[in-house]
């Protein structure tokens, strides 16, 4: 089974075109950032991207419109990455309904731990600090696949792939239902890191570096995603 490549993009006017380029480059899924003013899980690159998006007026409704526009251009699954503050304001049920009708296949909430709001179906995240009990609960309740946060820290490129990933993935395999896909994200930016992560997990999520490359336009993004694709496909 080929490994999955997830590309994170921040909502914005140019995002539909960027999403199309990412899909052409070989992305299997696009995570769409809904910008929040105080994003605790994010490092400087995504934080700055969120600030820019907010200054362009990318509020929740505009982001949902962006999602729908992307849906019209690409076939791959789309997943909003949305902080709980936005859900609180918009309403959980209303958001889930509106995101689904705009074309989302699931949602991801980085600051809603697995035992909060269990009624809200979402892709769950686990971290190297998570206990076995919490990994099991997250794996049982997650929506489609489980997000392995490879490191203790915020989003953003790192020099090396986190050494914590292997142990986390091993625990998750042992605790999760069989066949549940495990995708690794945070701190993965180079093709080499993506390949190494793909040898451990079933999918790889790339965010901050994709945001930086996207600033140079869709063609640059397509080439970058394509280099990640090639690296991941070479994974054992």
Torsion of CA 171, 197, 23, 82, to 10 degrees: 50
Residues 91-120 that bind another protein (CB under 8 A): 110-114, 116
* Segment interacting with another protein (CB under 8 A) among 128-136, 187-195, 197-205, 210-218: 128-136
162 is an interface residue for another protein by CB under 8 A: no
Query: Which one, 45 or 232, has the nearer CB to another protein?
Result: 45
Residue 149 to residue 5: CA distance in whole angstroms: 15
Residue 224 to residue 158: CA distance in whole angstroms: 17
Which candidate, 36, 34, 42, places its Cα nearest to that of 11?
34
Site string for another protein, 27-46 (x = CB under 8 A): ---------xxx-xx-x---
Residues 44-83 that bind another protein (CB under 8 A): 47, 51, 54, 59-60, 83
Residue 130 to residue 211: CA distance in whole angstroms: 28
Question: CB under 8 Å to 91, separation ≥6 — which residues?
Answer: none
Residues that are catalytic? 31, 42
Residue 51 to residue 72: CA distance in whole angstroms: 26
Least distance (Å) from another protein to the CB of residue 221? 25
Residue ranges that bind another protein, judged by CB under 8 A = 36-38, 40-41, 43, 47, 51, 54, 59-60, 83-90, 110-114, 116, 125-131, 134, 138, 149, 152-154
């Amino acid at each position: 089974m080929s490994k999955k490549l997830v590309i994170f993009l921040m909502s914005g006017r140019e995002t539909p075109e960027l999403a199309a380029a990412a899909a052409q480059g070989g992305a299997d899924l696009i995570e769409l950032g809904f910008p929040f003013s105080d994003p605790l899980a994010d490092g400087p690159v995504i934080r700055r991207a969120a600030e820019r998006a907010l200054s362009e007026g990318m509020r929740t409704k505009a982001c949902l419109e962006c999602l729908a526009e992307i849906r019209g251009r690409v076939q791959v699954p789309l997943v909003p990455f949305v902080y709980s503050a936005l859900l609180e304001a918009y309403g959980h049920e209303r958001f889930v309904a509106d995101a689904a009708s705009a074309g989302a296949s699931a949602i991801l909430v980085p600051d809603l731990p697995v035992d909060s709001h269990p009624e809200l179906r979402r892709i769950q995240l686990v971290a190297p600090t998570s206990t076995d009990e919490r990994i099991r609960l997250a794996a049982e309740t997650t929506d489609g696949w489980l997000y392995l946060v490879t490191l203790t820290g915020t989003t953003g490129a790192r020099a090396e792939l986190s050494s914590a990933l292997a142990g986390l993935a091993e625990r998750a395999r042992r605790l999760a239902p069989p066949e549940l896909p495990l995708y690794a994200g945070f701190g993965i930016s180079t093709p080499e890191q993506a390949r190494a992560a793909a040898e451990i997990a079933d999918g790889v999520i790339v965010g901050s570096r994709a945001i930086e490359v996207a600033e140079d336009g869709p063609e640059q993004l397509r080439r970058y995603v394509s280099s990640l694709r090639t690296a991941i496909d070479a994974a054992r």
